[in-house]
Chains A and B, each alone.
Chain A
Amino acid sequence: MAAGAQATQAAVHVSRRVEKPYAVLLLPAVLNGTPQKQELFLPLTLAYLLSAHIAFRFPLRESALPLVERVFDDILNGLPKESMGICYHSVEGAERATALVPQSSLLLTDERGLHELPGCERLPAAVIARSEGSASLLRLRNLEKIDDLGLRGKLAGCAQLINVQSGGFITEGPFSLSW
């Protein structure tokens, strides 16, 4: 694996050794396509936040690594180093990537990733989806199968934050999330 940017390594421990249980970050864009920087921000942010509770395995093509590291650099700038690790797995095809999934404790992916993973319906999963207005949503599945209450709470919290923002409106008072 090519060496990552120093800032990334300083902020998140990135290594090949990951202890079970583990989560998988599965993004077809970094496996099959040409990823755009903007589309990586949300999944990588979620992976970083959730990695405080569970180690991640992140399959990707080697050619996508520089962009992934640049996005991590942007995300992690000045943030606390609370992470159990996000481990890159260099793969050249979706098949090898999906082989990591069945034994994982959590799958973080998008709708396209989910579509490419038949037979994983019972796995706890957080799926980044798009609303009609192209806003991001986070759909959670089988959350009750996650034993770690901290991880479960953070997933639920992230989903609420994202979905309230993406819904955009709170029609009856009194509070909104104001930034």
Chain B
Amino acid sequence: MYILGINAYHGDASAAIVHDGKLVAAAEEERFNRKKHCAGFPALAIRYCLEAAGITAAELDHVGISRDPSAHLHKKILFSITRLSGLSGLIAARLANAAKVRNLREELARSLDVPADSFRAQFHNVEHHKAHMASCFLVSGFDKAAILSIDGFGDFISTMWGQGEGNRIEVLGEIEYPHSVGIVYTATSQYLGFPKYGDEGKVMGLAPYGQPRFLEQFRDIVQTERDGGFKLNLDYFLHHSEGVEMSWDDGSPIIGRIFSDKYIETFGPARQNGVPLTSHYEDIAASLQARLEEVGFHVLKHLHQKTGSKRLALAGGVAFNSVMNGKILLNTPFEEVYVQPAAGDAGTALGVCYWIENVLLQRPRTFIMGHAYTGPEYKNGQIERVVRSSGLKHRLLDDAELTRAAAQAIADGRIVGWFQGRMEFGPRALGNRSIVVDPRRPDMKDILNARIKKREPFRPFAPSILEERIAEYFEQTHLAPTMLMVYQIKPEKRAAIPAVTHVDGSGRLQTVSQETNPLYYELIREFDRITGVPVVLNTSFNEDEPIVCTPDQAMDCFQRTRMDVLFLGNYMVER
């Protein structure tokens, strides 16, 4: 049985395909069409999934999308009619701009260039947050767990929590529009001069530079409630009165201003692009992060009380806040946390598949998502063409030579492009589409930024560490294979790996196992043999663009930037 899951018309459009319970492929549309966080219909990702499964669309048994128009429909209508300024206003304008409205069957047919009646599949709508919940719990390996889905909004809900057991997911509570901590984070990021979709991570990186001296103000902005929920002080926001404008002209989503003038009254003028990030703005970021953690732990403690579970499955865009994630075990009664690698909206495509497989069809749960390597891969034969046509000096190595050469290059201070195996699903490069450098050099962060990444200087870079060595370097030892946890680096080790130690002594680590990525594991082990440090700096293989997907894109990035050496499959390419 083949099930296709789709996330469309949310940020990070994506597709996933499951065959008899096993995940065959999953990928974001942005990797194929090269439009960051693409929010359209994931036609290319769907084509890839079908190709990876070796089937045509006519052979699909089920197709689902992580959006249920019927879910909370009456609330959407009530909200719009009673609280917005009439249909002649914003909504009418939006509707007038809606050139075409189609259903999923027609849209899929159009994107694949096949007749709509050629599908034998059943079509399903799965409510957004139920898809998130399915995306983490059903592939977690937990038989029973508390589940929290927390993001901006989806199907009129910002936060949904519940309990999973076997094939059942029970919703225990939810928070409706317009109340959302995701929206608070996005609004504050906009205020701080980071308006792009996905910029929230920058603010998380900025927060450790500041002091949370505006925490009381943020406690007024987001107020916790005794039942474990929270609400917003809507005076600070526009989205409830004017709606959240999300447009995706030519692919990438753009979100309109969410914060109201009350932010400016409270915190002073919003930071404009190019204005220095003073301690004032750093303190606002620190206060936001502190309040997010307070609210998150408040929700989680109540969820633990309601479920009694020691295990937690976590999803939604807010689950990308790896600083908060890293503190969950320290601040709540939970003892195990599973965060699926594509925890944001992209992962809902996966959730749709397993909602259909396990919840609707009641087929047994047989799959555990232990890694994120579900995207396209390219054989050496395909890579050879790219290497030869580049005209660059190259050598074909076996795996042992490859990891030794790469580790030596890293230890020599060179910037290494590392393109291997299947592309990662989710926003993190986890050793298959990575740029890897020496974490021991204090200047490496600046070198990377100057030569390739061009990121804001306050943003940290992440360490990959052999999983069995985590206790030597980090205060916490719960494994973090998807780079979605930030832990404190042991004080005595910070000087050893300065390029991946953030200003507060933390690191957003990836624990690497021999089982899930043997080649990357071997690379780090070789680096350890040479240097005595089982850690490398790992950043995504890109230059202000989506992470590279194909060998051509990797070669293009290599030639465009000042990377030193590229390991493209088994080829070592140098300038």
Contacts and interface: CB of A to CB of B under 8 A. Distances in A.
Interface of A: 41-42, 44-46, 48-49, 75, 79-80, 131-136, 153-154, 156-158, 160-179
A45 B77 contact: yes
Nearest to B78: A45
Contacts of B94: 175-177
Nearest to B10: A178
A151 B335 CA distance: 56
Contact of A133 (B81, B82, B104): B104
B8 interface: yes
A29 B432 CA distance: 57
A179 B91 CA distance: 12
The 9 closest A-B pairs by CB, nearest first: A157-B87, A167-B101, A174-B247, A45-B74, A172-B99, A175-B94, A41-B74, A165-B69, A179-B156
B153 A157 contact: no
A170 B97 CA distance: 9
Given A42-B74, A49-B82, A168-B125, A176 B9 contact: yes
Contact of A169 (B76, B78, B79, B104): B104
A49 B87 CA distance: 13
From B97, B101, B104, residue with most partner A Cβ within 10 Å: B101
Contacts of A153: 87-88
Interface of B is mostly: mixed
30 contacts: A46-B77, A132-B103, A132-B123, A133-B124, A135-B68, A136-B69, A154-B87, A160-B95, A161-B76, A161-B77, A161-B87, A161-B95, A163-B101, A165-B69, A166-B70, A168-B67, A168-B104, A169-B102, A169-B107, A170-B99, A171-B99, A171-B107, A174-B247, A174-B249, A175-B93, A175-B246, A176-B98, A177-B243, A178-B245, A179-B154
B172 interface: no
Contact of B103 (A162, A168, A175, A178): A168
A40 to B, nearest CB: 9
Interface residues of B, number: 51
B34 interface: no
A79 B78 contact: yes
Given A161-B91, A179-B76, A169 B125 contact: no
A132 to B, nearest CB: 7
Contacts of A49: 77-78, 81-82
Interface string B155-167: 1100000000000
B326 to A, nearest CB: 30
Contacts of B248: 173-174, 176
A79 to B, nearest CB: 6
From B70, B105, B123, B125, residue with most partner A Cβ within 10 Å: B70
B91 to A, nearest CB: 7
A133 B123 contact: yes
B80 interface: yes
A179 B88 CA distance: 19
Interface string B210-226: 00000000000000000
B7 to A, nearest CB: 12
A49 B101 CA distance: 25
A117 to B, nearest CB: 24
A164 B81 contact: no
B155 A179 contact: yes
A168 B65 contact: yes
A15 to B, nearest CB: 22
A163 B98 CA distance: 12
B177 interface: yes
A84 B551 CA distance: 67
Given A157-B81, A174-B97, 16 more contacts: A41-B73, A45-B77, A131-B103, A134-B125, A135-B125, A158-B77, A161-B91, A167-B69, A168-B69, A168-B103, A169-B107, A170-B9, A170-B100, A173-B247, A175-B94, A178-B243
B419 interface: no
A136 B73 contact: yes
Nearest to A170: B98
A38 to B, nearest CB: 9
Contacts of A79: 78, 82
Given A169-B41, A169-B107, A173-B249, A136 B9 contact: no
Nearest to B254: A174
B91 A135 contact: no
Interface string B448-490: 0000000000000000000000000000000000000000000
A150 B538 CA distance: 60
A163 B103 CA distance: 11
B95 A158 contact: no
A178 B93 CA distance: 14
A48 B243 CA distance: 22
A31 B208 CA distance: 62
A50 to B, nearest CB: 10
A172 B123 CA distance: 22
Nearest to A156: B87
A162 B101 contact: no
Contacts of A75: 74, 78
B397 interface: no
B503 interface: no
A36 B81 CA distance: 25
Contacts of A177: 76, 91, 94-95, 243
B92 interface: yes
A164 B98 contact: yes
Contacts of A158: 77, 81
Contacts of B156: 179
B91 A165 contact: no
B52 interface: no
B73 A162 contact: yes
A44 B153 CA distance: 25
Interface string B235-256: 0000000011111111000000
